Structure formats: C-alpha cells, structure tokens
Chains A and B, each alone.
Chain A
Amino acid sequence: MRRSGWEVVLTSAWLGAVLLAGICAPWLAPLPPDLQEDVAGARYLPPLTRADALRLSSERVQVVTSLRATPAGWTGIRNGRREEFAASEVLGVPTRRFYLLGTDSLGRDLTSRLLFGIRHSLVVTASSALLAVVLGVAVGSVAGLAGRAWDAGLMRGVDVIRCVPRLLLVLVCASLFPPSTLLLVLVLGATTWTGLARILRGEMRVLSRSDLAAAARASGASPLRVALLHLLPQTAPLLAVNTALRLADIILLEAALSLLGIAAPPPAVSLGGVMASGSDALADAWWIAAWPGLLIAGMVFALRSAGARFLRLPDPPSVA
C-alpha cells in the first residue's frame, strides 16, 4: 500500500492525540471517572446534555436539566419529571455540568470515563505487548540460535501453546487468581507471544548464517554478545511492525475479554469495560457502547496502518 504524506501525518497525529489524552486524563477529565452524584437524576443523559448539579441541605446532590430560577427557589427536570427545589433547601449556587458524550447507567460522565479508560488501556496494552515481545524474542532467539535440541524442544512447546484454544488459556489463567490489572497484563502477554517467537526463530536462523554473524564471531565476540548486539538489532524493523500489530490485537482482545467478565476490577476503568456495560443498556443509551467501540476501532486502525507502512520499509542497510 503506497501512502501519501498526509495519511502518515494524520495517523501519527491521531495516535499522538490518543496517547496525550491518556497521559493527561486526570487534568482533562471534567469530573472524576467514578463520581456517582445522582444515580437516578443523571443516568442515561444523552450526549451534549447541559445540566446543573444542586447541592441540597441533606448533603444529597440532584442533577437536573433546564434549571430555572423561580421566586420560591429553583425548578428543573430531573429523571423526566419537573421538580421544584425551595431556595432554603439548596446550598450554594448550582454547578454547571456539561456531558459531552453523555452519562452511563450510574450517572457517571462518559467523557471522563473514556479519558481514564484510554489511560488504563494504554498501560495494559503497552505492558502486555512488552511482555509478549520480550517472551517472543527470548524464546525465538534461543530456538533459532542455540542449536537443534533447544530448537526442537522450544518450538514443540510453542506449537502446543498455539494449539490450546486461546480463550481457554485466558479463562483458566484468569480464574486461578483474584482479578487485578497485573493479572490481566500477564494473561494478555502470556497468550500473544507465540507468533512472534516463530517469526524471530526463522529470522535468527537466517541471520546466524550470514557474514555479519561470522564476522562478529571471528572477532571473538561471545555467543550472547553476537545475539544481543549484532543480530537482534537487525530484526528491529520486523519487531517494530510486529509490535504495532500485536498492540492492535491486544486492544481488541482486551475489549473482548471485558465482555466475558475478565477485566481489571472496578476502580480501574477500561475501554472494553465501558463498552461491555453499554451492551446491557443498548435500548436506553446507545452512546455508552458506541464511543469506546469507535475509539478502539480508531486505535486499531491507526496501529495497523502504521504497521503496514513499516512493512514497506526497505531492508536495513547491510553491514558487510
């Protein structure tokens, strides 16, 4: 696929924006992501809703739309009904609320939840992909470089893991330990590295027969030094592409697992989790599932186009 310049700029800008939004989530989010001010009043508010939060003397907060001042106090629409609030009941001035992307079933602001969801998903996918790449590179390199016995043993093991239904692996791993973000990372990373191991093994076998490796060996470098400093850098473009594609896969897998109930436990907000919670409320609030899905699709799209672009890079310059 030949790409013109503006497509690259667009892809990078979009990925950069998502990254920035994730990093800056605590400062960008208009409200705390798990703030449930008023479950009955604020639930299922559609996108672009303007509302006001009234603090009552009973310390309860009521979220109402189309708030107006009346001689006796305030009047507004809460949960589909017009309600009156006496001036003596209300503490202070009403606070403006603007729900850009709407609210969920517990009246939480989706904009804030998505921002924190991006943050969480970035951390989870990046660390899982890192784990998968490290595992894949380690196993693949050892199998490709350390001789026939290692090769046979490790690659049969990889074949076995590839043949175990991935979801079974994930479900059993997830049921072994109490749910946590760390477990999610371990499960995602431990089930996605085998493809890379196979690719790396093939690449390393070819590289180990090259003049480059022979020259390094002849200059007295230890096998470990040859592998790490001379051969591994040669696989960098391959690794870059695979990491981008792996990230896209992990984002999709994480979302799918959320629907099956395998996710980081509640205080953490994940994009997949928000989407899964929206699947129950499809008839009431399409927006809960829509936004995280579009965001995930956008990230996957950008990562895959980035991968496809790197795939077209010319071969790395030969050292020999």
Chain B
Amino acid sequence: MGAYLARRSMAAVPLLLGVLTLVFLLVEAAPGDPFRFEPASGVSGAAQRTLRRAFDADRPLVARYVDWMRGFLVGDLGVSFTYRRPVSDLIREAGANTIVLAGLATLLQFLLGTAVGLAAAGSRRRWVDRSLTGLSSLVYSLPSFWLGLALVWLFSVRLGWLPVSQMHSVDAAEHSPGWRLVDFLRHLVLPCLALTLPAAGGIALYVREEVRALLGRAFVQSARARGIGEKALVMRHSLRSALLPVVNLFGLALPGILGGSVVLEVLFAWPGMGRLAYQAVLAKDEPLVLGCAWVTSVLVVVGSMMADLMSSWVDPRAREEAM
C-alpha cells in the first residue's frame, strides 16, 4: 500500500508541472495588460514602470516562469495585482468560505443522493421507484443557476424569508455572535440548496443503477433464495459493493469542494474560490489566476489519487488491478 501511494505521488509530479506550465502560458497569452493605464488616468509613464517593477512584472518570460515554479514549491504564491495582498492569504480566506458552502453541499449531495438511490432501488413498489427516479432525473437536468434563480425568486423576492446574496448582512458587525451565526446560516441556505439538488439527483440515479445491477447478481440471488428480506438484501448485501463507484465519485468531487462552483458563487456573490478565480481572470491578475489554478490542479490530482486509495480500501480487488 505504501509503495502504491509513493508511485502514485511520483506520477503526479510531472502532471502538476504540466498543468502549471499550461496555465502559465494561457495566462501569458491572454491579451490586456494590468499595468497599462489610460492617458487620462493621470498615471505617468514613470509611475507605470515603477509599478511594473514593484510587482516583478517587468522581467522576461522565462525568468518569471522559473520564479513562479520555485514559488509554488515553497508555498509563496506572490502578490496579487488587484488586491495588493499575498495570494496565499486571499486563497486561504476564499477557500474557507468555499469549504463551508461547497463542503456542506457535497456532503448533502452524497447523503441525499445515496439515500434516494437506495430507496428507489430497494422499493418493491413500482410507483415509488418510478417517481423517485423521475424526480431525480428531473432535478438532475436543471441548470444549477436556474435553480438558484428560482429559489431566490420564491424565498427572497416572493416570500421574503431569506436574503438574496452575500455571506453576511451589511450591519452584521453591530450584532451579537449568536445573531451573526443565524444571519450567516440564513445566507447559506439558498446557494447550498442550488448546489446540492442537481448533483444529488445525478448521484441518486447512479446509486440506483448500481444497486439494481447488483441485485440481479448471483450472490444476491442466492441470499434471496435463502429467504433474506429485500431490505436486508439492499442494506447488507449490495450496499458495500454499490458504494464503490460512489466513493470514486466522491474523490472526483473533491476539487469542486475547493474549486467552488464559479457560477453559483458569482450569482450569490459568495466570496469563495470560484468567484476569486473568475474576478482574477477578468482583471488579468496573473499571480492570483496562477495561484487559484495551482490549488485546483493539486486538488484534482489529489482527488483522483484519493478515489483510487479509497476504492482499494473498500475493495481489495481494485488494488490488485491498479498495481
């Protein structure tokens, strides 16, 4: 197991290097220059040159590339052009906000999706299965930000129960910690729901298919022949095997937890990673774009590694195959 882990990590290094190089070249190729000001702005040419030097943006391409690569190794991601703060600080703050939103949503997706999928697969009544499956595929088809808009329209515009966007109310600082927590949770509900429901629908369909396929297999049939009830068949005999692909999905969902859902974060003005990266690209804030890309790429690589590790833990056969 240790050797397996080591080999997977070794294979990840060139992958990460490749991703970082590609992102660097992409950002370099994008037009626009954050240090070019309109003549009317009153910023002199000398001041522009000073700014450029202060942010280390005046050095040749290769030198900056090498510098950045070295920076990533020691965890120094440079200083953002637009925020004038270390990129690592910005990412830490935005990352925390995203973990709360996307982490909770991911957890709910898997709990809800697995539960609905199991209920649909295990139900002996055809209409229960069909309505759960139908509902899941319906929800799975909704564009997540359309669902977000619909929720905002219902709960904020029509009913006025929940706030439209942001993470806190404007006057939150004046209130007690308890009030602030409730305020925060109220802001969390809508983006979390919009993020949870479509993916939960997809997971439910997936789990149902897997469990249904397993229920037809010989080992389950023999258990059924021994007189074991349908519920026990689903829960005890197929669940473990059916969870394998779910575990795999979870590893693949990991980058999403930190990468954030850009569209929903933009829609709900949630100050997370996705929104940070989006604004950084629009402002051509090179260090910030590269920093965000670095975090996401590391997560993608780690996520797929974790998926492999977890499936080899649940199912020893997968370990044999991967070796």
Contacting pair B157 A282 (CB below 8 A)? yes
**C-alpha gap A160/B300 in the complex (Å):** 10
Q: With A160-B15, A260-B266, A296-B146 given, is the CB distance from A165 to B297 under 8 Å?
A: yes
Interface of A is mostly: helix
B31 on interface, CB distance cutoff 8 Å: yes
Q: Which of chain B's residues have a CB closer than 8 A to the CB of A172?
A: 26-27, 29-30, 281
A-side contacts of B23, CB under 8 Å: 164, 168
**Stretch from A65-73, A209-217, A300-308 forming part of the interface with B:** A300-308
Contact A165–B296 (Cβ < 8 Å): yes
B209 x A1 contact (CB < 8 A): yes
Chain B residue nearest in CB terms to A254: B143
Residue of B nearest to A303 (CB): B141
A278 lies within 8 A of chain B by Cβ? yes
Most buried by A among B133, B143, B149, B266: B143
Please indicate which of the listed interface residues A275, A289, A297 has the most CB atoms of chain B within 10 Å of its own CB: A297
B108 within 8 A of partner (CB): no
B253 contacts chain A at the CB level, 8 A cutoff: no
Q: Which residues of B contact A282 (CB under 8 A)?
A: 149, 152-153, 157
Residues of B within 8 A of A163 (CB): 15-16, 19, 297, 300-301
Q: Does B263 contact A (CB under 8 A)?
A: yes
| Nearest CB in chain A: distance from B130 CB, A | 10
Given A165-B277, A175-B281, A301-B137, A259:B266 Cβ within 8 A: yes
Contact of B138 among A161, A164, A248, A301 (CB under 8 A): A301
The number of residues on chain B lying at the interface, defined by a beta carbon within 8 Å of a beta carbon of chain A, is 48
Contact of B281 among A168, A256, A293 (CB under 8 A): A168
By a CB distance below 8 angstroms, the chain B residues around A98 are: none
With an 8 A cutoff between CB atoms, is A110 at the interface?
no
**Considering only CB atoms, which chain A residue lies closest to B23 in the complex?**
A164
Asked if B61 is an interface residue, CB under 8 A from chain A, the answer is no
- A256 touching B263 by the CB < 8 A rule? yes
Q: Which residue of B lies closest to A301 (CB)?
A: B141
A167 to B263, CA, bound (A): 10
Interface string of B13-53 (1 = CB under 8 A from A): 01110110011001101111000000000000000000000
Which residues of A are found within 8 Å of B27, using beta-carbon distances?
172
Query: Contact at A160–B18, with CB atoms within 8 Å?
Result: yes
Residues of chain A within 8 A (CB-CB) of B301 are 163
Contact B15 A304 (CB under 8 A): no
How many chain A residues have a CB neighbour from B under 8 Å?
40
Q: Kindly state whether residue A146 has any CB partner on chain B within 8 Å.
A: no
Partner of A175, one of B22, B30, B149, B274: B30
A300:B141 contact, CB within 8 angstroms? yes
Cβ of A286 within 8 Å of any chain B Cβ, yes or no, is: yes
Are B31 and A279 within 8 A (Cβ)? no
State A161–B297 Cα separation when bound (angstroms). 10
Are A164's CB and B143's CB within 8 A? no
- Chain A residues near B145: list those with CB within 8 A: 255-256, 259, 279
- Cβ contact within 8 Å between B14 and A293: no
Most buried by A among B19, B145, B209, B293: B145
CB-CB under 8 A from B289, the residues of chain A are 168
Most buried by B among A168, A169, A171, A304: A168
* B binding-site residues for A, Cβ under 8 Å: 14-16, 18-19, 22-23, 26-27, 29-32, 133, 137-138, 140-146, 149-150, 152-153, 157, 209, 255, 259, 262-263, 266-267, 274, 277-278, 281-282, 284, 289, 292-293, 296-297, 300-301
Top 10 nearest A-B pairs by Cβ distance? A293-B146, A301-B141, A160-B18, A300-B141, A171-B281, A165-B296, A172-B26, A163-B300, A163-B19, A297-B141
* Residues of A in contact with B (beta carbons under 8 Å apart): 1, 156-157, 159-165, 167-169, 171-173, 175-176, 248, 252, 255-256, 259-260, 275, 278-279, 282-283, 286, 289-290, 293, 296-298, 300-301, 304-305
Can you sample 10 A-B contacts with CB below 8 Å?
Answer: A163-B297, A167-B274, A168-B26, A255-B145, A259-B267, A260-B262, A286-B157, A290-B150, A298-B141, A304-B137
